[in-house]
A and B are shown apart, each in its own frame.
Chain A
Amino acid sequence: MTTNVTTNATTNATLTAPGFLTEQWAEDVRRALDSGPDEEARATKLPNYWRWIEGVRSAYSCSWALGVVGLTDAPDRPTYLHLDWQDGQCVKASVLGPAQPDEVPADYVLRADLATWQRLLSNECDPRRVVMYRELRLEKGDTLAFFQGIYFFAEAVGVLSKVPVRL
């Protein structure tokens, strides 16, 4: 998957890292999500906050399709990172290319433009801001149910954004 990204100032984009929206990157994301935030990240937030997230995660069994709009290969058709959660474990990750049917097979389908993804993956923006400014739009799934686990989602986006990737 190629993009029109020209940025070279990212902290986590290295020449050896897997490319954005490749199966290898998706698997790296899955492993990172399954492990959850590291101790350093956890120490910056209150234990009560992590307990709230653990309460959501412990029984979480939904799938997410996180879409990228505006890729050079298919500017009008999103490509998705598809993640499957079962009982709190991130058990499967894959990339759904632009040829997939309109009805994306996921409980929650969210999309953002490439510029937003670039900022996220370059750690240039707070994932909480992405939520509050609705930069990742919920295209499918019940909003109220989604918000019952909103910080679990926001922290997952934070973990995802730190996985090394070549943009």
Chain B
Amino acid sequence: MTELSRETISSVENSTLSQIRDLDIDDVIAYLHTDLKKLPDYTSLYQRYHRQRWNAYELDFTQDLADWQNGMTQEERDAFTAVSAGFHHGERQVEVELPVFMLGGSEESKMFLASQIEDEARHMVFFDRFYREVVDLPGESMQELLDSSFGYISETFVGSFGLLAYLADDLRRDPEDPVRRVRYGTAYFLWIEGVLALTVMKVTLGFCRNRGLLPGYYTGFTASCRDEARHVQAGMRFLRDSVQEDPRLLLAVHDTLRAALTASATTSRRIPLEPLGWDLAGLQQEMMRQLWMKLSDVGISLPPDLDSMVSAIRTRS
């Protein structure tokens, strides 16, 4: 991971929505990792939320529509629609499944989670606007539009979001149970936000940046990525604190990762990454790299079987 200069960190940290378009997505992802070793407390992250909050309705998709219609091939549009659909649904899932986690934990964490729920709802609005105003999928209500894009999403997302939904149901039965909380936190903060989202967002954002296309999408999704930095840092703090307090909870992290990796190990259709400048091997390698970075930054080790599972994916890639 690239070491960021103070100037770049400050630029990522303080950019307004209109300035975010000039940021490099790799710098925003690197910014997320600059704080992972020390992990800010929930109050600091909540204060940062207020400084970095943006409005999804301020984005202008006029140029995006022109780019979509005239600057991209059909193959590129199909690939972009398919890859982004995972986020269209993902933002909805992480919004609606988060309140149950807020029923437990410290007051400071609850305060921060309230801001995270608002973030996720805003990200959901962003993707709703993009699919409605640029991609032009049919659907009057938000749910109808989600139903229109559901057919595009791959099992990697269906399995991961489904796992989160069922773990949320488990947690609802006993919101203070440490094992249920750690299972949920591993699926949500480590796997979905820390690995899946941060990897796959590079695909569409890299395409936009390299080709100089879809400025509204690039701005909104890069701002979302900066929000994710707060979420992942808070989530990693939760996992690190939980395991330090009770090392037996490491087992819950491992069990959840095993299920997430298994459920993400296949897809029923080819994911069209090549038109966006990626291939499946490169994507898998980046996912495992993101996983290793998170685990090593917060000091979570893997048992031999999981270690082999992750290494095999990296080697195969």
Interface residues of chain A, those whose CB is within 8 Å of chain B, are 44-46, 48-49, 51-52, 126, 128-129, 131-134, 137-138, 143-148, 150-151, 154
Contacts and interface: CB of A to CB of B under 8 A. Distances in A.
Interface of B is mostly: helix
Contact residues of A: prevailing secondary structure: helix
Interface in B147-195: 150-151, 155, 158-159, 161-163, 165-170, 183
A132 B258 contact: no
Nearest to A148: B262
Contacts of A129: 150
Given A52-B265, A138-B169, A46 B159 contact: no
Given A138-B169, A147-B163, A148-B259, A131 B158 contact: yes
B73 interface: no
B159 A48 contact: no
A138 B162 CA distance: 11
B169 A147 contact: no
Contact of A128 (B158, B166, B262): B158
The contact size tier of chain B is: 20 to 34
Contact of A133 (B165, B259, B262, B266): B165
A152 B255 CA distance: 19
A48 to B, nearest CB: 6
A134 B158 CA distance: 11
Interface stretch (B13-21, B40-48, B107-115, B267-275): B267-275
18 contacts: A44-B268, A45-B269, A46-B266, A52-B266, A126-B150, A131-B158, A131-B162, A133-B165, A134-B165, A134-B166, A138-B169, A143-B167, A145-B259, A147-B159, A147-B162, A148-B259, A151-B155, A154-B158
B121 interface: no
A138, A147, A154: residue with the most chain B Cβ atoms closer than 10 Å = A147
Nearest to A141: B166
Given A46-B267, A46-B268, 8 more contacts: A128-B158, A131-B158, A132-B158, A132-B161, A137-B169, A144-B183, A147-B162, A148-B259
B11 interface: no
Contacts of A46: 266-270
B23 interface: no
B52 interface: no
Contact of B259 (A44, A138, A144): A144
B166 A143 contact: yes
B169 A134 contact: yes
B92 to A, nearest CB: 10
A126 B155 contact: no
B117 interface: no
B268 A45 contact: yes
Contacts of B268: 44-46, 49, 151
B242 interface: no
A137 B93 CA distance: 16
Nearest to A56: B262
A146 B159 CA distance: 11
Given A46-B267, A128-B155, A131-B158, A144 B165 contact: no
Nearest to B93: A132
B263 interface: yes
Nearest to B183: A144
B256 interface: yes
Scoring B183, B255, B262, B270 by chain A CB atoms within 10 A of each residue's CB, the highest score goes to B262
B150 A144 contact: no
B255 A144 contact: yes
A143 B262 contact: no
A151 B158 CA distance: 10
A68 to B, nearest CB: 18
Given A128-B158, A143-B163, A144-B183, A151 B266 contact: yes
B165 A49 contact: no
B254 to A, nearest CB: 10
A144 B158 contact: no
A129 B152 CA distance: 12
B89 interface: yes
